[in-house]
């Protein structure tokens, strides 16, 4: 069992001793450190991690405890500069490009969020139109605001039988591109939150046939290149730009991502300039070193471990399938939008429990932490750093839970995310004068904010979109199911920000 304890993070004993002494002195003089207190509390708990970060609280290649804070430095002589790399950072990025199969790689110390801002800023000019999936992560929407882009949506298929968003039909993209010559860039999430992969090779072929650009949000797919038992990496499939959250599926520190250039269609000088626009002038060397270490680890032992874990996952899935009451999603041969599945994301549920309830039981009673949950499922995100024992513990816990009787909240039939009606460009609504209205009075108004159920972080309404009865119903359903909704305001989260109707002086 993975124990994310002080031992596990291998703070040397004397370091740990000093750490505790210092902390106790601080407490004696009543200095409050709420974040640190909680962090230590969390570290003390025995737990099995099926969530991010991909390192799962373990060291790879070095002992991080020895490097902090001494290795936390700035651009001293010889340490190069992320904004104009010519030395060690350039060398490190070039090595990453070679491993991931890119023409060029740039490190992002602001996660894939900054990576998407940079990628869209590179591929567009203000005023351009982009085609995005409605289920895109909010960083894609925010990139549209920052880069002053207009958005057009493509809808991912919602598989009613299994209650999951599956993939995008390449033919739908083809139709959109044929109908609207003003679309400049297509943005695809690959794999999606559930590990489902659209036919990215076909999509790349269509996008390029129409002379447009393909950006892939591969936040959940940094590991794909390291095993041929996994779906094809989008760089190999022909994507122009790809952004990956290395920290999610490989062992790098939270907040570290990579932006990879796949084709000559990308203006590399512009990419460097825009990267400089969005990234801090004080990038963390610890972050950059952790990106390098994740790559180096995966070139050696990591690759073998990943492949071993994939076999462990297949075994786990077979065992889970044999347990009565367990629902496990492994695809649907009748759904053509599921082209492939990233097996490292294990989507499971137990009849009679919502995904959130199951996730809570796993956490509280078994110390197993899941990545996310929704109405019907909870998702175990396995990485190279999981141990064989983690899968066994998960199986044991699921067997035990499935053997119990539950009063039975039946999984609800999730309505499709309501189709939005865009009334004004997202950036215009975002920067407009705003007012707060009660949710019940908001029908017919234009939202100026994002309302996002968490997880999975897909907005149900975005700035510039009309608020309808269906949208309010969806929000209410999510609230009733205990899903957290970000974006509502007021004491009881009963209000929403909308575009002010009169005297609306936009900036
Ligand atoms: C699909 C997708 N894209 C982008 C992001 C943003 O990634 P990061 O946390 O690295 O900023 C996330 C984060 O959860 C995501 O799920």
To test ligand 1's pocket by mutation, which of 137, 156, 342, 457 has the most ligand atoms within 8 angstroms of CB?
137
pLDDT of residue 305: 97
Cross-strand bridge partners of residue 489? 495
Say what angle helices 285-299 and 301-321 make with each other, to 10 degrees: 80
Residue 387 phi, psi dihedral angles, 5° rounding = -95, 160
Structure confidence at residue 165 (pLDDT): 86
Ligand 1 atom closest to residue 245's alpha carbon, by position in its atom list:
10
Ligand 1 in reach of 137 Cβ (< 6 A) = yes
Does any ligand 1 atom lie closer than 6 A to the CB of residue 257?
yes
Helix (H, G, I), strand (E, B) or coil at 470: helix
pLDDT in tens, 436-484: 999 999 999 999 999 988 765 678 999 999 999 999 998 888 888 777 8
Give the number of the atom of ligand 1 that is nearest the alpha carbon of residue 136: 1
- What distance in Å separates the CA atoms of residue 233 and residue 258, rounded to the nearest whole number? 14
Residues in the chain: 507
Which has the closest alpha carbon to 137: 184, 188, 196?
188
Rounded CA-CA distance 107/256 in Å is 7
pLDDT at 374: 82
For residue 115, the CA-to-ligand 1 centroid distance in Å is: 10
Cβ–Cβ < 8 Å for 133, 189: yes
How much distance in Å is there from the Cα of 454 to the middle of ligand 1? 13
Cα 121 → chain centroid: 20
Residue 334: predicted pLDDT: 92
- The whole-angstrom separation of Cα 459 and Cα 461 is 5
Low-confidence ranges of the chain (pLDDT < 50): 1-12, 507
Q: 52 CB under 6 A from ligand 1?
A: no
Residue (of 162, 114, 173) closest to 139 by Cα position: 114
Tell me if 295 CB under 6 Å of ligand 1: no
Among all chains, which residue has been given the structure tokens 């025995």?
Answer: 46
Contact 349, 358 (CB under 8 A): yes
Distance, CA 214 to ligand 1 centroid (Å)?
18
Res 6: pLDDT: 39
* Whether 478 contacts 490, CB under 8 Å: no
Ligand 1 site, residue 244, Cβ cutoff 6 A: no
Radius of gyration of the CA atoms of the chain, in A: 23
Q: Collapse the DSSP code of 93 into the 3-class scheme (helix H, G, I; strand E, B; otherwise coil) and give the result.
A: helix
For the question of whether the overall pTM of this predicted structure is more than 0.85, the answer is yes
The rounded distance, in Å, linking the Cα atoms of 482 and 490 is 18
C-beta atoms surrounding 420 within 10 Å: 21
Interval between CA 253 and ligand 1 midpoint (Å)? 14
Pocket test residue of 198, 219, 256 for ligand 1, highest count of atoms within 8 A of CB = 219
Residue 140 Cα, ligand 1 centroid: separation in angstroms?
Answer: 9
> 138 CB under 6 A from ligand 1?
no
Q: What value, to the nearest 5°, has the Cα angle with vertex 211 and ends 208 and 215?
A: 60
Q: Which among 382, 97, 350 is positioned nearest to 241, based on CA atoms?
A: 97
Q: Tell me the C-alpha distance between 126 and 72, whole Å.
A: 37
Handedness of CA 122, 124, 126, 132 (dihedral sign): negative
Q: Is 111 in the pocket of ligand 1 (CB under 6 A)?
A: yes
Mind giving me the DSSP string for 396-451? HHHHHHHTS-----PPP-PPPPPPP-B-S-HHHHHTS-EEEEEGGG-TTSBB-S-B
pLDDT value at position 105?
A: 98
Q: Using DSSP, state whether 258 is helix, strand or coil.
A: strand
């Amino acid at each position: 069992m993975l124990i994310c304890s002080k031992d596990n993070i291998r703070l040397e004993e004397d370091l740990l001793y000093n750490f505790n002494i210092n902390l106790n002195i601080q407490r004696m003089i009543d200095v409050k450190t709420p974040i640190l207190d909680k962090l230590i509390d969390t570290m003390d708990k025995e737990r099995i991690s099926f969530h991010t970060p991909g390192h799962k609280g373990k060291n790879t290649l070095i002992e991080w405890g020895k490097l902090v804070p001494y290795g936390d430095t700035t651009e001293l002589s010889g340490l190069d500069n992320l904004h104009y790399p010519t030395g060690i950072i350039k060398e490190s990025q070039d090595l990453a490009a070679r491993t991931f199969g890119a023409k060029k790689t740039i490190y992002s110390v602001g996660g894939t969020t900054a990576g998407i801002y940079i990628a869209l800023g590179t591929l567009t000019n203000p005023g351009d139109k982009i085609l995005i999936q409605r289920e895109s992560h909010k960083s894609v929407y925010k990139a549209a605001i920052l880069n002053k882009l207009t958005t057009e949506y493509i809808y991912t298929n919602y598989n009613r039988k299994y209650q999951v968003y599956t993939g995008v039909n390449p033919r739908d993209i083809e139709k959109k591109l044929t109908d609207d010559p003003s679309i400049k860039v297509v943005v695809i999430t690959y794999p999606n939150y559930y590990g489902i992969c659209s036919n990215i090779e076909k999509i790349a072929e269509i996008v390029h046939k129409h002379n447009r650009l393909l950006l892939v949000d591969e936040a959940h797919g940094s590991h794909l290149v390291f095993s041929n038992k996994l779906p094809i990496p989008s760089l190999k499939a022909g994507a122009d730009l790809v952004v990956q959250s290395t920290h999610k599926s490989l062992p790098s520190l939270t907040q570290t991502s990579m932006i990879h250039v796949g084709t000559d269609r990308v203006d590399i000088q512009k990419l460097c300039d825009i990267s400089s626009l969005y990234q801090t002038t004080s990038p963390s060397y610890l972050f950059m070193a952790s990106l390098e270490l994740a790559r180096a680890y995966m070139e050696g032992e990591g690759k073998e471990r990943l492949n071993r874990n994939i076999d462990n996952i297949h075994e786990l899935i077979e065992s889970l399938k044999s347990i009565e009451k367990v629902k496990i999603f492994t695809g649907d041969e009748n759904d053509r939008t599921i082209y492939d599945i990233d097996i490292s994301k294990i989507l499971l549920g137990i009849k009679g429990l919502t995904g959130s309830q199951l996730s809570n039981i796993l956490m509280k009673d078994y110390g197993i932490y899941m990545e996310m949950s929704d109405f019907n499922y909870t998702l175990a995100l396995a990485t190279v750093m999981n141990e064989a024992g983690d899968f066994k513990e998960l199986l044991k816990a699921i067997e035990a839970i499935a053997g119990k009787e539950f009063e039975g909240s039946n999984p609800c039939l999730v309505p499709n995310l309501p189709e939005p009606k865009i009334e004004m460009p997202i950036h215009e609504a975002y920067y407009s004068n705003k007012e707060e209205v009660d949710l019940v009075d908001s029908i017919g108004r234009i939202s100026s904010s994002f309302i996002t159920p968490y997880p999975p972080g897909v907005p149900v309404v975005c700035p510039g979109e009309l608020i309808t009865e269906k949208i309010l119903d969806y929000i209410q359903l999510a609230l009733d199911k205990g899903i957290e909704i970000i974006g509502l305001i007021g004491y009881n989260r009963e209000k929403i920000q909308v575009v002010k109707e009169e005297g609306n002086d936009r900036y």
